[in-house]
Amino acid sequence: MRRRPGVARLRDQSFNRLIPNILTLLALCAGLTSIRFGLNERWEAAVVAIMIAAILDALDGRIARLLDSTSKFGAELDSLSDFVSFGVAPALLLYFWNLSEVGAPGWVAVLLYCVCCGLRLARFNTKLDNTDLPAWTGRFFMGVPAPAAAGLVLVPMVANLAVGPGYFDSPWLAGLVAVVVAGLMVSRLPTYSFKRIKVPQHFVLPTLLIVGVLAAFLASSPWLTLLGICGLYLCSIPLSWLSYRKLAGTGPASPAAPPPAMDEADLDEHDELPPR
């Protein structure tokens, strides 16, 4: 039977080249599963599912480049997965947790966060072909990346899990955090792209030791450790802004520097959009 003209077909692929897309689908499933846990009020499991989605998202783009299996299909799939796992899922978790108690204002905060996440991903997609900016701008993201935003917006829930009810479980606090994080996602504030950091040779062993200690803290006091990680990330934002201004050769009172952009050689934004 002759194939109809104009009908595209997927080419045969080895299993290894499918691994990045499989990881992306697993991240999507983890994000959707966190929503299910939220419906059942299993908040600890819901936060862990978001963490698993973030880890898988950090791996898929890197593995795609290592296996030389980048494709437009994988890039689009990853973008959709990020919107669900780091946009829709965290916002719905907060709504199930306590934002529903305040009615319309809580739902407005949820919608605003989701819309800003979608706008961020769409803006990133349009920046992929921009090769006019200096290479050093690839060290920065424009605004807070989606996985980091998912962690920040869940800070009130994580703090409540760490210290117990009565301190951070106010729906107005959760709504305010959601609005602020939504603004950070679509802002033009430079933030560090940690994937571009190179570890000097004499710091390799100390770095591995720090990772081991961090894993031990996550196993023994996961919620306080997550709060500490989020706090360190927030502290890095002013430093990234100062570093960007210094590299741009401008001072605080000088005209604004060009916005940070992605390096074509390293397209995934937090692996927000790995080129597969």
Q: By the 8 A CB rule, do 110 and 90 touch?
A: no
Which residues of the chain form beta strands (DSSP E)?
140-142, 190-192
| Phi–psi pair at 200, nearest 5 degrees | -60, 155
| 103 found inside a domain | yes
For residue 185, the Cα-to-chain-centroid distance in whole angstroms is 10
**Cα distance between residue 120 and residue 207, in whole Å:** 32
CB 172 within 8 A of CB 233: no
Residue that is written with structure tokens 């980091």 in the block: 148
Question: Could you tell me if 274 and 64 are in contact, meaning their C-beta atoms sit under 8 angstroms apart?
Answer: yes
Residue 12 tokens read as: 């045969």
Nearest alpha-carbon partner for 156 in 140, 176, 139, 138: 176
What is the model's pTM? 0.81
Cβ burial of 25 (10 Å; 0-12, 13-18, 19+) is middle
Residues 6+ apart with CB under 8 A from 208: none
Task: Kindly state whether residue 7 falls inside one of the protein's structural domains.
Answer: no
Report yes or no on 70 lying in a domain. Answer: yes
The answer to whether residue 165 is domain-embedded is yes
> Residue 123 maps to which CATH number?
1.20.120.1760
Helix/strand number for the chain, H first, E second: 10, 2
What stretches in the chain show pLDDT beneath 50? 1, 7, 251-256, 261-276
Q: What is the DSSP letter of 250?
A: -
CB-based burial label for 212 (10 Å; 0-12, 13-18, 19+):
exposed
Note the pLDDT of residue 259: 54
Residue 170, domain extent: 15-193+222-248
In a domain, 238, yes or no: yes
Tokens of 34: 């966190």
Structure tokens at 244: 């960007």
Written as one letter, the residue type at 252 is P
| Number of domains into which the chain is organized | 1
Residue 274 lies in a domain: no
Residue whose C-alpha is closest to residue 245's, from 261, 258, 232: 258
Is 276 inside a domain boundary? no
**Two tokens at 61?**
């783009």
Return the pLDDT at 254. 43
Domain-embedded: residue 92: yes
Query: pLDDT for 188-209, tens place per residue?
Result: 888 888 766 777 788 888 888 9
d(CA 9, CA 6): 10
